[in-house]
């Protein structure tokens, strides 16, 4: 197929393919290796953080209470933020997909606009506004900020999910006598559920992993694990920090596996991918910070 | 009767949909637009806050301090150097990976996507800690190179994902006809694939630029404390020195750089499209 012209260069092409696979393997090993390094150094029985670990102990995992609180707090914040963002994202996406509003693409651009504000800048802005208004950082400011920062991802995912739904099914349900509410809860919601769940999951992971917003908006006495790790950078570089990191890695990998499962189930049983194109969003394609 | 029923639902639906947009719009107004405006206002404010000694006074103090001192200008050039190095690094790694992920078999695709995308999901901080420990073990830590490796690792997916959709957009029929008409691989790559790929390449570069300028945890963990990036200056001024005026000023300079780059990208893409058509 490649023809006589490329024939004498075929070995070069094959070499290129081997090189690319080696590169992919290297990136894979490197990306997961870095996580393995964190786990291994949490086993060190030295009082300071070191790699390769010296000695072998699980003691640092019994010392996790300091981080357990922070990890629980991160989980709570992420849970509320993800629920808020996916609820609001669903409502907004319904309006965008189903209404005959004018300026639809302008509205969508507005809804996606927090994507272009990097999280460090956004966190600082919220802190500055809070200080000016005489309020203090805490659970709600942090949660609301994370909701706004992650809502665009929900809107993007849920919008493309809703666009893939066959809306004549709703009309059919109505024609067969279902009430508006019943048609929505029994027909539309189950069809939209996978993309809503995917939106929730991604928001949850982003909010849970956040450090650049919570470093500004968590109280010093009540830290998320991200801001706690950064606060401990100077004076508490013990293997306990790596143990907390390992716990976080397990939590996120489990959530990602669940998310992958949802995606797979959706592809298998609904047939439409969650990453379809939506108009007006090309500039903000795949953005995250 | 059916007309009345339709009109009634139209009304109820419209109200419901408007409510949905209203709620999220209000949230954005209160928790997004308002804080950004406050930050702009504070950056022009008096510098009552903070322990820093200020050589500059008046509403432009934060900006004068940044532009006026060799130290901060140097930091800005270092940040830009990091951003452009990260763009070069992610393109060099991303092009072959994205190409193989798009054109190769299903297993290539799965392996490459898992390899590349996983930093999106597992904590940047924990990852940077691991990388720092590893680089310390091989005596590479606390350098520009360390920060660059960390940045490229975290930002590679932002280059590879757009590039993958770029490669997917290459029309196989065009490539085939070019081949039939006797074009070599090099000519096909330069005259067909590259123009199709250009918007994705630009989009990826813009994302990598903005994110590498703004992530502070990587230089904080992997870099030398003596030469911070602009994002670290924001972080230190706001939290260590409680100097919100200066922090807000530097944050807005960062934001302005990001917006300029996005604007340029839009112009370039539009220009490229016009050029092709």
Interface test with A, best of B5, B7, B31 (most A CBs within 10 A): B31
- What number of H helices and E strands is found in chain B? 13, 0
Does the pLDDT at position B46 exceed 70? no
| Torsion-angle region of B58 (φ positive above 0: left; ψ -120 to 50: alpha; else: beta) | left
User: What Cα–Cα distance (Å) separates residue A68 from each residue in A186, A235, A285?
Assistant: 40, 19, 36
| Torsion-angle region of A286 (φ positive above 0: left; ψ -120 to 50: alpha; else: beta) | left
Q: Which residues of B touch A230 (CB under 8 A)?
A: 125, 217, 220
Residue labelled with tokens 């590879």: B160
Please check whether residue A50 is in contact with residue A226, taking contact to mean a CB–CB distance below 8 angstroms: no
Give the pLDDT of chain A (289 residues) as one tens digit per residue. Answer: 444 444 566 777 788 878 888 888 899 899 999 999 999 988 888 888 888 888 888 888 887 887 889 999 999 999 999 999 999 999 999 888 887 777 888 888 899 999 889 999 999 999 999 998 989 899 999 999 999 999 999 998 898 888 888 888 888 888 898 888 888 888 888 888 888 988 998 899 889 988 899 999 999 889 998 898 888 887 777 888 888 889 999 988 888 888 788 777 766 765 544 444 333 333 333 333 3
Among chain A residues, CA nearest to B154: A31
Q: Which residues of B touch A117 (CB under 8 A)?
A: 32, 36, 255
Give residue B56's pLDDT band: very low, low, confident or very high (50, 70, 90): low
Find the mean pLDDT for residues B154-168. 91
What confidence score (pLDDT) does residue A130 get? Answer: 93
CB-CB: which of A17, A116, A286 is closest to B162?
A286
**Cα–Cα distance measured from residue A120 to residue A115, given in angstroms and rounded to the nearest whole number:** 12
What confidence score (pLDDT) does residue A281 get? Answer: 36
**Cα–Cα distance measured from residue B207 to residue B205, given in angstroms and rounded to the nearest whole number:** 5
pLDDT digits (tens, 9 = 90+) for A91-128: 999 888 887 777 888 888 899 999 889 999 999 999 99
What confidence score (pLDDT) does residue A139 get? Answer: 95
Q: What is the DSSP secondary structure assignment for residue B118, as one 8-state letter?
A: G
The answer to whether residue A237 neighbours chain B at the CB level (below 8 Å) is no
Give residue B55's pLDDT band: very low, low, confident or very high (50, 70, 90): low
The answer to whether residue A64 neighbours chain B at the CB level (below 8 Å) is no
The answer to whether residue A251 neighbours chain B at the CB level (below 8 Å) is no
- What number of H helices and E strands is found in chain A? 13, 0
Contact state of B251 with A205 under an 8 Å Cβ cutoff: no
Looking at the DSSP bridge assignments, the partners of residue A219 are A222
In terms of Cα–Cα distance, which of A116, A105, A178, A230 is closest to B236?
A230
**Cα–Cα distance measured from residue B95 to residue B72, given in angstroms and rounded to the nearest whole number:** 34
Residue labelled with tokens 């691991």: B130
Domains present along chain B, CATH in parentheses: 70-276 (1.10.3720.10)
Does the pLDDT at position B93 exceed 90? yes
The DSSP code sequence of B242-258 is --HHHHHHHHHHHHHHH
Q: To the nearest whole number, what is the mean pLDDT of chain B?
A: 85
Give residue B205's pLDDT band: very low, low, confident or very high (50, 70, 90): very high
| B137 C-beta neighbours (distance < 10 Å), count | 14
Better pLDDT: B68 or B256? B256
**Cα–Cα distance measured from residue A239 to residue A66, given in angstroms and rounded to the nearest whole number:** 13
What confidence score (pLDDT) does residue B8 get? Answer: 52
Does the domain formed by A63-269 have CATH 1.10.260.40? Answer: no
The answer to whether residue A117 neighbours chain B at the CB level (below 8 Å) is yes
Please check whether residue B161 is in contact with residue B90, taking contact to mean a CB–CB distance below 8 angstroms: no
| B24 C-beta neighbours (distance < 10 Å), count | 26
Query: Angle at CA A211, nearest 5°, toward B208 and A209?
Result: 85
pLDDT digits (tens, 9 = 90+) for B232-251: 999 999 988 888 888 999 99
Find the mean pLDDT for residues B220-238. 90
CB-CB: which of A38, A118, A288 is closest to B126?
A38
Among chain B residues, CA nearest to A108: B21
Retrieve residue A4's tokens. 């006589």
Q: What is the ipTM of this complex?
A: 0.85
What confidence score (pLDDT) does residue B59 get? Answer: 73
């Amino acid at each position: 197929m490649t023809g006589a012209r490329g024939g004498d260069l075929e070995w070069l092409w094959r070499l290129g393919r081997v090189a690319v696979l080696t590169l992919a393997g290297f990136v894979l090993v490197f990306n997961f290796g870095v996580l393995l390094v964190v786990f291994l150094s949490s086993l060190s029985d030295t009082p300071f953080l070191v790699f390769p670990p010296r000695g072998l102990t699980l003691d640092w995992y019994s010392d996790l209470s300091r981080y357990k609180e922070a990890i629980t707090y991160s989980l709570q914040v992420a849970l509320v933020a993800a629920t808020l963002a996916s609820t609001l994202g669903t409502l907004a996406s319904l309006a965008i997909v189903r209404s005959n509003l004018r300026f639809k693409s302008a509205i969508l651009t507005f809804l996606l606009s927090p994507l272009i504000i990097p999280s460090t800048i956004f966190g600082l802005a919220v802190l500055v506004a809070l200080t000016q208004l005489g309020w203090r950082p805490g659970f709600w400011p942090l949660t609301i900020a994370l909701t706004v920062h992650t809502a665009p991802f929900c809107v993007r995912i849920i919008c493309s999910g809703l666009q893939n739904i066959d809306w004549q099914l709703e009309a059919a349900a109505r024609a067969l006598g279902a009430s508006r509410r019943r048609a929505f809860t029994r027909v539309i919601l189950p069809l939209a559920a996978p993309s809503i769940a995917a939106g929730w999951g991604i928001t949850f992971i982003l909010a849970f992993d956040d450090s650049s917003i919570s470093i500004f908006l968590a109280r010093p006495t009540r830290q998320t694990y991200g801001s706690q790790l950064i606060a401990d950078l100077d004076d508490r570089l013990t293997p306990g920090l790596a143990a907390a990191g390992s716990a976080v890695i397990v939590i996120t990998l489990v959530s990602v596996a669940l998310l992958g499962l949802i995606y797979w189930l959706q592809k298998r049983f609904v047939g439409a991918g969650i990453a379809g194109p939506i108009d007006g969003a090309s500039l903000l394609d795949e953005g995250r910070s | 009767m059916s007309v009345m029923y339709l009109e009634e639902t139209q009304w109820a639906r419209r109200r419901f949909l408007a409510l949905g947009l209203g709620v999220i719009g209000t949230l954005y107004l209160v928790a997004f637009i308002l804080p950004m405006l406050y930050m702009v206002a504070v950056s022009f404010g008096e510098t009552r806050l903070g322990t820093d000694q200020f050589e500059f006074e008046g509403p432009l103090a934060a900006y004068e301090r940044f532009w006026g001192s060799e130290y901060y200008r140097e930091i800005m050039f270092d940040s830009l150097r990091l951003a452009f190095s990260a763009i070069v690094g992610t393109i060099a790694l991303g092009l072959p990976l994205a190409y193989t992920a798009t054109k190769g078999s299903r297993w290539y695709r799965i392996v490459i996507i898992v390899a590349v995308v996983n930093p999106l999901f597992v904590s940047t901080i924990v990852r940077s800690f691991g990388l720092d420990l590893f680089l310390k073990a091989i005596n590479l830590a606390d350098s520009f190179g360390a920060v660059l490796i960390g940045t490229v690792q975290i930002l590679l997916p932002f280059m590879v994902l757009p590039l993958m959709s770029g490669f997917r957009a290459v029309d196989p029929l065009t490539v085939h006809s070019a081949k039939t008409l006797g074009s070599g691989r090099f000519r096909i790559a330069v005259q067909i694939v590259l123009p199709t790929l250009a918007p994705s390449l630009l989009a990826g570069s813009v994302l990598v630029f903005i994110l590498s300028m703004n992530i502070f945890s990587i230089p904080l963990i992997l870099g030398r404390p003596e030469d911070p990036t602009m994002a670290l200056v924001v972080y230190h001024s706001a939290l260590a020195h409680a100097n919100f005026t200066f922090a807000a000023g530097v944050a807005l300079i960062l934001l302005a750089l990001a917006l300029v780059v996005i604007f340029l990208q839009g112009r370039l893409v539009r220009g490229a499209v016009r050029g092709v058509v």
